[in-house]
Structure 1
């Protein structure tokens, strides 16, 4: 069993603000249910989650969510929200972190990710999804892909990690998170040699895993998930339209 932490504190002040009057992206309604509720329903349906903590607008979330879910006030940025949430999960050995903007996530996708992680020993597990799997199931979606020697992949929105290593890699972790949708920025952070190989599409997933682990000072593991729902998030109007179409709304 692992504990889950859902980040739901992003204000709705970006591209989605014209699609919904909700003050926070987590509270954008899709077919009468908010985005964060879709994520929580998938988490609760697994048999592998113990406690769930949601970091976001406490007033709205406490009215919306059942009492067995702990709601925590959001901080100023992603890493700050992560630390706030972990305060309510003392002693946790492993925490599954999810963003609130993946309403297509399924229990099967979550279970599969956790099963894949259980096959390796690491401090941080990060999923990547092959481009072919995304486009096979969501041909109209536009995602950021990174080219590796094995093929093209997009990053996921689930993370499994050991809370004990978080504070030690906070600064670099925030930089990696900020650069996750810019392949060139990611390459630059990992050094010139790596960048040159990256530009030639000669970097393997194993090499990327090793470089990221060294940068963060932790043992990281790249996990290949064939569930595109792990990586199909909603951050622009076309994403919202796609989700509504898939859900028949």
Structure 2
């Protein structure tokens, strides 16, 4: 496994581009495409927009071939997002490592730089990008998103993660174990901690409280990074997302 940022202090980057299980409504309209990463968005394959935001990074890609992603490091195939991160690290992707997804079609260099700057400043081993509901609704009024509801805050994930060191990988290993338990609710609850699940269900859990619990559980410092731009939380999972993204790229939203 590699280690260390480049001479500018910039982390390496991993783009998760693998196809998820089940039917994808976006691919149904493009039967010739093997993965959503190659879906045309405003005339360009979606993954190209992500790679443009990562220009200058040492980029690894999971889920595409060398022909589909020329001049990139191709990570070994993996069955899940967490497994893909670990496989890339084991194949030599250096730490610190920025992780994002190929469907983050509104990702910009400004968003990337804001996230990485805050992640470095946090001193955490593992950082998770989030955006507050207020920021998303201010940027995209009326758009429906999925939110995690904490006491005092509602947030949405941004598909941005920062692994500063080997301890940060422990969070990914926990994530992989949780993926394996997703069809075993009791085992998953024990792994996360029943008291935390109860507190969340009763809306008593704060965002900070969750990350403090995660840090204790993992033996690593895990921190949320709150991004101010609501576009950070937009990915392309369904046709309405695609319509929104293309409207933004046309300057209509």
Q: TM-score range by the shorter chain?
A: 0.7 to 0.9
**1:46-105 deviations in Å (ceiling 9; x for gaps):** xxx5411111131xxx334442x2223422222221123224435x33100011111011
What are the residue-to-residue correspondences of 1:166-205 with 2, within 5 Å?
A: 168-174=170-176, 190-205=192-207
* Structure 2: stretches of 5+ with no match in the other structure: 1-9
Q: What SS does structure 2 have at the residue aligned with 1:144?
A: coil
How far did residue 170 of structure 1 move? 4.8
User: What is residue 31 of structure 1 aligned with on the other side?
Assistant: 42
Indicate the SS of the match to 1:53: strand
Q: Select the residue among 14, 17, 20 that pairs with 1:8.
A: 17
Match of 1:82 among 60, 81, 85: 85
Are 1:165 and 2:170 an aligned pair?
Answer: no
The residue that corresponds to 1:234 in the other structure is: 236
CA–CA distance in structure 2, aligned partners of residues 189 and 228 of structure 1: 31
Kindly report which structure 2 residues correspond to 1:211-226, keeping only aligned pairs within 5 A, or say none: 211-226=213-228
Q: How many residues align?
A: 236
Greater shift after overlay, 34-43 or 78-87? 78-87
Structure 1 residue 218: Cα displacement: 2.0
Give 1:11 shift: 5.1
| 2:109 equivalent among 107, 113, 135 | 107
Q: Which of 56, 60, 63 is 2:63 aligned to?
A: 56
Alpha carbons 2:148, 2:154 under 8 Å: kept: yes
Give the corresponding residue for 1:43. Answer: 54
5+ residue gaps, structure 1, are: none
CA gap of 1:74–1:230, structure 2 versus 1, over 3 A, is farther
When normalised by structure 1's length, the TM-score is 0.83
Secondary structure of the corresponding residue to residue 156 of structure 1: strand
Using the size of structure 2 for normalisation, the TM-score is 0.82
Structure 1 runs (4+) deviating above 6 angstroms are 177-180, 185-188
Provide Cα deviations, 1:164-219, integer angstroms capped at 9, x if missing partner.
23664555212556899xxxx99886433323332332222211101122333321
- Is residue 50–residue 104 contact of structure 2 (8 Å, CA) maintained in 1? yes
Is residue 2:27 matched to residue 1:20? no
